[in-house]
Structure 1
Amino acid sequence: MKIGIAGVGGIGSNVALNLVRSGVMALKLVDFDRVESGNLNRQFYFVDQIGLYKVEALQINLSRINPEARLETQVQRIDAQNCADLFSDCDLIVEGFDRQVDKKMLIETFANKKDVVSACGIAGFDLAGIRSRRIGNSCIVGDFTTDCHQAPLFSHKVTTVANYMSEFILAQSLKGTKSHKIE
């Protein structure tokens, strides 16, 4: 199973980390952004990677965990015109965008076509309200209320949401298999 990750910031980089450590062997990482110092408190990057494209830095980091993982990277902004083509070879897509309009676009692009796991409400520090909802072929995880424009982003909450998302992906990936290694 090949997992596409649309945006490799706080959600995308931490989901990728979880998946590679869980035996997922094929990821497609797509993002246009570079690592900044403000990312280091919640994203899977390091200070010596500031200035690198996030997909390139993440590929390095994930390869250190499992050098046999097949990590395809693409430095590109995802939009309504290229979204379907970028992830046409993926079985499931992780939404890791910051903007609501981009989240909506990705979910609508793959409605009734591919499973999508998305985040909604990852800001603040309270973990008690985190839950998941299944809507069609999408699974949405978060507290559904606390937007990053309302509260700061903290590592423990971002990674908890990423962990819930990873649980959904692994459950989908392991259906019908006996191995923990997901090809």
Structure 2
Amino acid sequence: MNRFFKVAMIGAIALMLAGTGFAKGGSGGGDMGGSSMGGGMSHGEQSMDMAKDHAMEMDRDMKMDHDMDHSDHKGEMIHQSMANHHQLAYHLINNKEQMEAMKDMKGMSMSGGAAQMKSHHLMVYPVDDAGNPLTGSKTGYLVTSPSGAKQKAMAMEMKGGYGADVDFSEKGTYKVTVKIVKGDTQIVDNFDYDVK
């Protein structure tokens, strides 16, 4: 049952991050009605498949736009930096606020999942010197809380970036390290983030 809630939460967040194209049946990956969904798939698996399809479409769109436009990125931009010839933009999404906004959405039952959910979803958007998003990499976060507790999170690729749930519930300064690896390319970046 616990795995179900995690899959449902990831699916719900991926759907929310993917934008409204799914619900409107627009170019965001097909409509939600009819028999277009394969039989036997859970809601979480369907959400993940749709988010992956939408992420691939967004990657194509972003490759055409060489300027890093953050208007399509969800959450608050908390940091920008350059590392190994890549521009990195970090966005933070408050999971509790997102759950509250999604509570009335049809088909989104969030009962029981909120207590186990981490406080935030951290996204990094890596873009090379030519303005192309770095896709297909392995990305992970190491977050050290103000009290010294460490949390590691492997990020999932979505919408031209990489995101993972992290806990920023303690007040103070967090140390955030991201590591992105694709083939011979390795990017390591560090920054501090203050929670007031």
Instruction: Tell me if TM exceeds 0.5.
Output: no
Structure index of larger Rg: 2
Q: When you count strand as a share of all residues, which structure comes out higher?
A: 2
Q: When you count helix as a share of all residues, which structure comes out higher?
A: 1
Larger relative CO (CA 8 A, sep 6+): 1 or 2? 1
| TM-score computed with the length of structure 2 as normaliser | 0.24
